[in-house]
Amino acid sequence: MKLLVIFCSGIFFCSATLPHQDDALTKSMERGKLIYAENCVTCHMGAGEGVAGAFPPLAKADYLVKTPEKAIAAIKFGLSEKITVNGVAYEGMMPNPGLDNEEIADVMNYIQNSWGNTSNKKLVTAKMVEEVKPKK
């Protein structure tokens, strides 16, 4: 009987928490898509393909997978250093778009789960963005 109670409790816990994570990610991605359309699409294009030699792709971008903190920092503070995305070097400047931590989290969730990218359903939160500090 105890085992049955523990089993049922586990099922209840998983059903209460896992859908919430998916729901939160889905809602964040919806908001992020709008933010992307307003702030990022001009350079990184509609399907995240970027512009060869000028603006790095976000679609299937190893930079997002390997260094998500750097991607967050680029959105949060802008970027003026050389980066390599999918083996191609980019030296252009990305201005700070002036987004708050929640907006940055939303656009990161959208980018990391679109165009062949996958974050394995890991939710980027405003708290995570807040913890990213400028490079010294």
> Are 86 and 57 contacting, i.e. CB atoms less than 8 angstroms apart?
yes
Please name which of 119, 108, 63, 60 lies closest in space to residue 90, comparing C-alpha atoms. Answer: 63
Structurally, at CATH architecture level, domain 36-131 sits in Orthogonal Bundle (1.10)
pTM: 0.81
pLDDT in tens, 65-120: 889 999 999 999 999 999 999 999 999 899 999 999 999 999 999 999 999 998 88
Cβ atoms 117, 59 nearer than 8 A: yes
Residue 85 pairs in a beta bridge with: 88
Is 100 within 8 Å of 75 (Cβ atoms)? no
In the chain, what are the domain boundaries? 36-131
Mean pLDDT of 9-25: 60
Reduced to 3 states (helix: H, G, I; strand: E, B; else coil), residue 85 is: strand
